[in-house]
């Protein structure tokens, strides 16, 4: 039996364990990336590890999230990141150079390499045939220090693509179709591997759109073969030397197979407030729109914006619609400007924003109260836009443009024949947006603004865990629920004491006060707790407030790892029905925890309700050591890793 592409790369990078689904493995990491919203915490932790220089082939620090400098906090973070990069041998992508995933795809992605990024959409580079995985910042810091990345060897889902996309249908519609079929929980713990004759019809940026939003399926990563299409893309980027052909063996066996005829896909839209709440555009056509935003790491490539410009040329945006466009990289901005496409957008009435994540991370462009915003982004969680009652829909660029012109959600097929937009034979490839580190950074002074505080820690795991249920939640709680983003809160990412005042702010604004007064406690939740962003602050800030454990029906992969890294125990209900028996405010006791963790089965006593219930805590040996130590940084200090 042959190997999948996924397991070919895993075996080539295997440091520990057996490359079989369900086994704990550790992989050598070739490249890392961070962005500024998660990077400061990652580098603060890296500094404690005593490593003089990064030990990866390449590490890049991007500034793309916290770009609004309404006070000194973001600028101070950026100055810190630039000085840390120079000190430790990291490439620094300066503000305005572009969104980390788009830029990494253009300049640094290499087929067959491993990439670990402190952003959940790191799998974007799977469109190039990389094994690109999102994780918490602490895992990235450890990888930069030369440590392998531990994970559970994943089952692999084959997505067999046939046919060809019809006019006005895009790669965004493909991934929305998969979300419609499989849900935001359908890929948890899995890798999605695309192949088939349909895959050959998709460009690298189209493939990257699909792998980017594999994160919304909950997938560990997604990957396409490295083939003639990949070779052409790398040649156009003046990086032909990085190409290598990679594909699954013809007799490879998969854990699941999904068949998808590209010709059967139609224009789709994700309705509020989840990426899997998908319907054909025709079913919601006519819904009035207040705002349309085109961009994000999902849909801000040259092809996306060249098509946008062609559709806007000679037309005007509806008077009641605010249309914004965020180029994904400096390269994209240069090329649409040089070709006159930027002028077409501006003349149509579009607002061209900074080259950055922008509205996707809630950094400006909040829609009006109760307004409908249509976005080519990857997430539409409640209040993520910055407007608590905003109604956020997700769609493709042509659907976005058609809707901006009409003033309501509109099927792009009503526009007639689509314009022809071809990928260029060569892309701009200057390096003005990068600052490369000196050969020896030992003399570089690291600059710290007053808002940058040390990473807090907790002590070793206690023999018993006692406390009240501080908050009870249902299914699909996102990291946006736990630790919101946006222009007001993102500047506090380097200051955990200040940031902790906003934990669960949009769910229960009183949570921080109650957690402090109770001396910490528990959170009880349903399925897929912690889906969404990789932000480790959604574990770090609750840990600072005294959160001891989360008891959930199931966890999202990255958030579970982040909880463990900061010493918060991730329990799962042995019987999911017990979730309904536990009430907010109940006092819980779990005794003899260290010994019971080795067995994986524990009993929780609900003293308020007068009953007990069983929970599971299935940890690898390494994860158990981390939890017992009270977090990975504590363990590293103990073992001098």
CB 605 within 8 A of CB 590: yes
> Which of the following is catalytic: 13, 65, 101, 632?
65
DSSP 529: B
Residue 611, strand partner residues = 606
CB 547 within 8 A of CB 520: yes
β-pairing verdict for 322-325 and 587-590: unpaired
The CA–CA distances, whole Å, from 59 to 131, 186, 242, 275, 387 equal 15, 31, 17, 31, 35
List, in order, residues 6 or more apart from 640 with CB less than 8 Å away: none
* 586 tagged catalytic: no
Kindly state the tokens that stand for 291: 């705002």
> Which of the following is catalytic: 30, 36, 59, 64?
64
> Which of the following is catalytic: 121, 384, 535, 624?
535
* 557 tagged catalytic: no
- Strand ranges in 547-586 using DSSP code E only, listed in sequence order: 547-552, 569-573
For the sheet with 91-93, list strands across it: 131-134, 114-117, 31-35, 58-62, 91-93, 434-435
> Which of the following is catalytic: 121, 273, 375, 379?
379
- Helical ranges in 213-325 per DSSP H: 228-236, 281-284, 302-312
Is 15 strand, coil or helix?
A: strand
* 508 tagged catalytic: no
* 119 tagged catalytic: yes
In the chain, the largest separation of any two C-alpha atoms, in whole Å, equals: 72
Q: 579: exposed, middle or buried (C-beta count within 10 Å: 0-12, 13-18, 19+)?
A: buried
CB 275 within 8 A of CB 213: yes
* 57 tagged catalytic: no
Q: Which of 482, 555, 479 is nearest to 512 (CA)?
A: 482
Q: Which of 9, 37, 64, 34 is nearest to 142 (CA)?
A: 34
Kindly compute the dihedral angle of the four CA atoms of residues 493, 494, 495, 498, in this order, to the nearest 10 degrees.
Answer: -20
Query: Is residue 458 within a helix (H) or strand (E), and if so which, with residue range?
Result: none
> Which of the following is catalytic: 203, 494, 533, 554?
533
* 290 tagged catalytic: no
CB 128 within 8 A of CB 107: no
Is 576 strand, coil or helix?
A: helix
CB 549 within 8 A of CB 568: yes
- Per 3-state DSSP, the chain is made up of helix, strand and coil in percentages (nearest 5) of 35, 20, 45
For the sheet with 221-223, list strands across it: 221-223, 191-195, 156-162, 256-261
Active site residues: 64-65, 119, 379, 533, 535
């Amino acid at each position: 039996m042959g190997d999948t592409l996924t397991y070919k790369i895993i075996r080539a990078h295997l440091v520990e364990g057996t490359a079989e689904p369900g086994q704990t493995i550790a992989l050598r990491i070739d490249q890392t990336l961070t962005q500024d919203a998660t990077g400061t915490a990652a580098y603060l932790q890296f500094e404690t590890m005593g490593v003089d220089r990064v030990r990866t082939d390449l590490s890049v620090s991007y500034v793309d999230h916290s770009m609004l400098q309404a006070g000194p906090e973001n600028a101070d973070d950026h100055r810190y990141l630039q000085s840390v990069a120079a000190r430790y041998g990291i490439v620094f992508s300066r503000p305005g150079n572009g969104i980390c995933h788009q830029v990494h795809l253009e300049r640094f992605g290499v087929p067959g390499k491993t990439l670990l990024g402190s952003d959940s959409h790191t799998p974007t580079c799977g469109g190039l045939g990389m094994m690109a995985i999102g994780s918490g910042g602490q895992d990235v810091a450890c990888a930069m220090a030369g440590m392998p990345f531990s994970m559970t060897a994943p089952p692999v889902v084959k997505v067999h693509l046939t046919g060809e996309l019809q006019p006005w249908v895009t790669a965004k519609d493909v991934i929305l179709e998969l979300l419609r079929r499989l849900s935001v929980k359908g890929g948890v713990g899995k890798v999605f591997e695309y192949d088939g004759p349909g895959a050959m019809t998709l460009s690298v940026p189209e493939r990257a759109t699909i792998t980017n939003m594999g994160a919304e399926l909950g997938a560990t990563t997604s990957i396409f073969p490295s083939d003639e299409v990949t070779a052409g893309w790398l040649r156009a980027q003046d990086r032909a030397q990085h190409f290598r052909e990679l594909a699954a063996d013809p007799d490879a066996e998969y854990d699941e197979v999904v068949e998808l005829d590209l010709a059967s896909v139609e224009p789709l839209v994700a309705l509020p407030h989840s990426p899997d709440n998908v319907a054909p555009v025709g079913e919601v056509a006519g819904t009035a729109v207040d705002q349309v935003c085109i961009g994000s790491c999902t849909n801000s490539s040259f092809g996306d914006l060249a098509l946008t410009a062609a559709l806007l040329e000679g037309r005007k945006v509806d008077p009641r619609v605010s249309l914004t466009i965020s180029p994904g990289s400096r390269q994209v901005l240069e090329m649409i400007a040089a070709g006159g496409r930027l002028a077409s957008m501006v003349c149509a009435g579009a607002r061209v924003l900074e080259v950055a994540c922008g509205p996707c991370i809630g950094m400006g462009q909040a829609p009006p109260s109760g307004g409908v915003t249509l976005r080519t982004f990857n997430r539409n969680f409640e209040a993520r836009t910055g407007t608590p009652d905003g109604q956020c829909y997700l769609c493709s660029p042509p659907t976005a443009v058609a809707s901006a012109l009409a003033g309501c959600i509109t099927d792009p097929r009503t526009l007639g024949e689509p314009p022809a937009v071809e990928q260029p034979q060569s892309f701009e490839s200057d390096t003005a947006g990068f600052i490369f580190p000196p050969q020896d950074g030992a003399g570089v002074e690291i600059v710290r603004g007053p808002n940058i505080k040390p990473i807090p820690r907790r002590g070793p795991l206690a023999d018993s865990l006692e406390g009240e249920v501080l908050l009870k939640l249902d299914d699909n709680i996102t990291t946006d629920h736990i630790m919101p983003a946006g222009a007001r809160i993102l500047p506090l990412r380097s200051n955990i004491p200040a940031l902790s005042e906003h934990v669960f702010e949009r769910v229960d604004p009183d949570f921080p006060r109650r957690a402090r007064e109770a001396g910490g406690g528990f959170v009880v939740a349903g399925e897929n707790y912690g889906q969404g962003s990789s932000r480790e602050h959604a574990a770090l800030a609750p840990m600072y407030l005294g959160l001891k454990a989360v008891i959930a029906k199931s966890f999202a992969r990255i958030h579970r790892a982040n909880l463990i890294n900061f010493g918060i125990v991730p329990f799962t209900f042995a019987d999911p029905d017990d979730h309904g028996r536990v009430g907010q405010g109940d006092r819980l006791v779990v005794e003899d925890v260290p010994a019971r963790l080795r067995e994986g089965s524990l009993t929780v006593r609900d003293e308020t309700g007068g009953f007990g219930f069983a929970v599971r805590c299935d940890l690898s040996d390494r994860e158990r050591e981390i939890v017992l130590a009270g977090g990975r940084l504590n363990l590293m200090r103990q073992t001098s890793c």
